Chains A and B, each alone.
Chain A
Amino acid sequence: MREAARLNARLLALFLLGAMLFGYPLLAVFNVPATVLGVPVLYAYLFMAWAALIALLAIVISAS
């Protein structure tokens, strides 16, 4: 029961993290016409953050 509650709490935390990563104002920070290794900063950020969130999700779920 406590294990289940912990998983729920972690998933909720990930949801909040995701909401923050993909929301204003963090997006505005990366909304600049610069590039990193040739790739626009905003695009790079969005896909990196997205991949990171999915990886965390996989870790949290596999760990429990």
Chain B
Amino acid sequence: MLQPWVIAVLSAGYLLTLFAIAYWADQRAERGASAIANPLVYALSLSVYATSWTFYGSVGRAAGDGVGFLPIYIGPTLAACLFWVVLRKMVRISQVNRITSIADFIAARYGKSGLLAAAVALIAVIGIVPYISLQLKAVSASFTLLTQYPDVTRPAYQVVPMLADNAFWVAMLLAAFAILFGARHLDAAERHEGMVAAIAFESLVKLGAFLAVGVFVTFHLFDGFGDLFTRAAADPKTAPLFAPFGKAGFADWVWLVVLSFFAIFFLPRQFQVAVVENVDERHLRHASWIFPAYLFAINLFVLPIAFGGRLAFPGGVDADTFVLALPMSHGEPWLALLVFIGGLSAATGMVIVETVALSTMISNDLVMPALLRVRALGLAGKPDLSRLLLGIRRGAIVVILLLGYGYFRFAGEAYALVAIGLISFAAVAQFAPPILAGLYWKGGTRAGALAGLAAGFALWAYTLFLPSLARSGWLPSGFVESGPFGVAWLKPYALFGLSGLDTTTHAMILSMLANVGAFVLVSVLGRSRPEEQTQALAFVDVFRREGDVTRFWRGKTTVDDLRALLARFLGPARAADALAAYARRRGVSASALAADPGLVEHAERTLAGAIGSASARVMVASVVKEEALGLEEVMNILDETSQAIAYSKALEEKKRELEAATAELRAANERLKELDRMKDDFVSTVSHELRTPLTSIRAFAEILADNADTPPEKRQRFIGVILKETERLTRLINQMLDLAKIESGRAEWNTEALDLVELVREAEGAVGALFREKGVQLETEMPEDFPPVCADRDRLMQVLLNLLANAVKFCERGRGVVRVRLLHEPGRVRVDVIDNGVGVAPEHHERIFEKFRQVGDTLTDRPQGTGLGLPISRQIVRHLGGDLWVESELGRGAIFRFTLPLAETGVGDLAVASQAAVS
């Protein structure tokens, strides 16, 4: 006989042990030596997933339908394959954004929407209430059973006053415990190291207790697995469970896998331990196999215990209590006590974490936003709200447990443990579409998430929650059996005629269809606000971002305002800590902090840890006079941008100009270098040309000076040479000056209408002596009425004389004939000076017009001219608007031709005319 006080004392002792562990872990955390910072503890804390449902309910379910309990653990195993992919992303996002609850997560993803946060919090609270009641039911039932040791028959259900109901006292005890663990003080990051350490320890206790009873049943009551199953196979009642799947069985199985797959991510307590309490995201790696291994271990003996129970108790014993009843009925009080403690640890672990997670949501997303909005309370102006916040948390924990108790008292009796739990799972599964899509799809919108959640939750409530109340008599029973108002297609368990399915499968199919459908449809059809788009990017691309992202913020505030704001919610000490931490990270002293966007962002995140992201945004906005990004600002930003673009264009332009200028300069430089070289050439040529006559003059002059007795005839000849050379020198210098004048454009030109025939005759007269001297004949061929040309008389004469002198120079003495011919061509006249001399080779036709270029063998022949006659002549003719060239072959004489414009047409017209002729 186990006295209730023995059980109570043992339970209290166990709970005190837990508290000691939590205290120890908290102390270590204070010292910075975290006790939970390893994958094993992390995986054990994830195992808070295994609750009374697992501990007592799995066996109950297995005793009824064989493997029906298993999908609840297969789903999380499949999910564990994706922990590193999906859960790590959630952890990273939550740590970057200081997210502390699932409501906060969804709200933050869709633009920090307060409405969405409230909706999620509400769904979570309502959805989880049955789950809490399940724990209360398990603890109170196991307690009641244990007190009637060794009798294991189920006591008849009787309504007792609330204060006499041990379930009520269990609820209150658990509430006190949850407050001690999770709401003793406020933590900006909502981290509870002590709680996590206690949870991990509880996971070990419940596993140990369950394995102990499993081994006891399998190897003590029976002779191993083979013996147990062989005897079960012989029993016609249990044999069918060996192949339990009926026609619809697979669909139910698959949906339960899906359901539990979602649950492991989105149950508030799983989110709390896996995401919020995560110390290091690398722990996820090994936790992804340790956690399913734990589930495997705790399920290994479910079937043996279930079959053992079925074989041991023909009837009258609730299958949900087999785990406890088997050791009791076989006279093992201490094992029974261990099992009770194991069940207690499973329940307390779940209730503590779940209520802490839910109370965070209730205070941050439901109560505080509402209170802050009620101006009559004047909360927005109160200096310290941290005590109020803590009070709300504690109150919320009590309320949640009372709700759980209420559900247990009024609806729980009608259900097995697993069936109650599945109602909660299906509610939490509604979070899957907005979160999973939110992690990978940027297109989801706030309106879409709201619509999806509303539709999914409504269908969940209609197909699972309301019927559960109806069964307990709170709604007319006809509601379930024949539909509301007798409308058959509205029957909650066969909505729209969808029948033949398990109630959970039925609810899941309908609510998921509605949820996903509404979410996608509304998202695609609607538009998202800029804030939503920023958050979508921050979530989906969280791994692509480096470090903290500073938001674009145009606002003004002071550090003191921010400190005061933080102090109101966190208390002055923690507020100072938060600012100091930021200052440390930025490498400045706390007093030198400036209220820049980074600090505002930090304050908002810190605050988000305490009151949720949506509320934090509102509160920060209240002290930061964020200037609404109006049209003007946008125009300014655009203006700045376009100015920048204009500058850059101008720079490009300048660059191009500079490049062009550089190219020009380079070309000019090349030209200058060329000119310089030409000048050098010219100077050396000129000095050479000048030296030649000077040398001979000097030589002859010296001979005369040194030899006074030179015979007179010889002296005469020498003086003649000197004179000739002097003349040549003079001519050379004159011509050089002439050429320089013409080339530089400083020469004076007296252009007039000239009679060319007369000019030629004059020239003929001038060179007559020279021709006669050389015995060269000069002929002229001139029409009678030749038109006048436009030219400078003296210059033109110079050209004629040059050409004639040139011609006579290369003619053979005595046989030479030089002919001058005038021709009248359209718009101009042509003058040919034809000789029958040595001629000019075609390759020299242009060279002879270069300065000082004298064709012929300069070594043997003495230069016969200055080498400037032809260049000067060409310059003159070209200046007068004509051209001068030579047509000749070596040994066949030469024709020097030049053209001149007619006096009436003028220079410009001639150019036009010649162009016309060419084209």
**A residues apposed to B, CB below 8 Å:** 7-8, 11-12, 14-15, 18-19, 22-24, 27-28, 31-35, 37-43, 46-47, 50-51, 53-54, 57-58, 61-62
Contacts and interface: CB of A to CB of B under 8 A. Distances in A.
Secondary structure class of chain A's binding surface, majority of residues? helix
B296 A39 contact: no
Given A54-B293, A57-B289, A42 B81 contact: no
A54 B226 CA distance: 24
A24 B257 CA distance: 12
Contacts of A23: 254, 257
Taking residues whose C-beta sits less than 8 angstroms from the other chain, chain B's interface range is 35 or more
B227 interface: yes
Contacts of A38: 225-227, 229-230
A27 B242 contact: no
B300 interface: yes
A44 B288 CA distance: 23
Interface string B241-252: 011110000100
B542 to A, nearest CB: 14
A62 B564 CA distance: 48
Interface of B: 66-67, 70-71, 74, 77-78, 80-82, 84-85, 225-227, 229-230, 233, 239-240, 242-245, 250, 253-254, 257, 285-286, 288-289, 292-293, 296, 300, 303
Given A27-B253, A58-B289, 10 more contacts: A22-B71, A28-B245, A28-B250, A33-B239, A40-B229, A42-B244, A46-B67, A54-B289, A58-B293, A61-B285
A11 B77 CA distance: 12
A4 to B, nearest CB: 9
B84 A8 contact: yes
B81 A22 contact: no
Contacts of B74: 18, 22, 50
A27 B245 contact: yes
A50 B71 CA distance: 11
B227 to A, nearest CB: 7
Contacts of B82: 11-12, 15
Query: Considering the complex of A and B, which 8 residue pairs feature the smallest CB-CB distances, nearest first?
Result: A38-B226, A15-B81, A58-B289, A40-B242, A24-B250, A57-B289, A31-B245, A33-B243
Nearest to A49: B74
B778 to A, nearest CB: 99
A58 B292 CA distance: 10
A18 B81 CA distance: 9
A23 B254 CA distance: 7
A37 B229 CA distance: 10
B288 A61 contact: yes
Contacts, number: 103
Is the contact region of chain B dominated by helix, strand, or loop, or is it mixed?
Answer: helix
B820 to A, nearest CB: 94
Nearest to B84: A11
Contacts of A46: 67, 70
A42 B67 CA distance: 9
Contacts of A24: 250, 253-254
Contacts of A8: 84-85
B81 A14 contact: yes
A43 to B, nearest CB: 6
B67 A53 contact: no
Nearest to A30: B243
A27 B245 CA distance: 9
Nearest to A58: B289
B280 to A, nearest CB: 15
Contacts of B303: 43
Nearest to B225: A39
Contacts of B293: 54, 58
B242 A42 contact: yes
A11 B88 CA distance: 13
8 contacts: A11-B82, A18-B74, A32-B243, A39-B226, A42-B244, A43-B229, A50-B292, A53-B292
Most A CB within 10 A of own CB, among B84, B288, B303? B84
A54 B292 contact: yes
A15 B84 CA distance: 12
A56 B37 CA distance: 25
Nearest to B300: A47
A27 B250 contact: yes
Contacts of B289: 54, 57-58, 61
Nearest to A21: B74
Nearest to A18: B78
B606 to A, nearest CB: 31
Given A38-B226, A39-B225, A57 B288 contact: yes
Contact of B78 (A19, A35, A62): A19
Contacts of A31: 243-245
B508 to A, nearest CB: 16
Contact of B67 (A28, A43, A57, A62): A43
A34 to B, nearest CB: 8
Contact of A18 (B77, B230, B244): B77
A27 B81 CA distance: 20
Contacts of A22: 71, 74, 78, 257
A27 B300 CA distance: 19
A50 B82 CA distance: 16
Nearest to B232: A40
A7 B66 CA distance: 36
Contacts of A53: 77, 81, 292
Contacts of B70: 46
A35 B242 contact: yes
A19 B77 CA distance: 10
A35 B230 contact: yes
Contacts of A12: 81-82, 85
A57 B84 CA distance: 11
Contacts of A27: 245, 250, 253
Given A28-B245, A35-B242, A54-B293, A7 B84 contact: yes
A35 B245 CA distance: 16
Contacts of A57: 80-81, 288-289, 292
B766 to A, nearest CB: 98
A35 B254 contact: no
Contacts of A40: 229, 233, 242-243
B292 A37 contact: no
A53 B288 CA distance: 11
A24 B230 CA distance: 27
B304 to A, nearest CB: 10
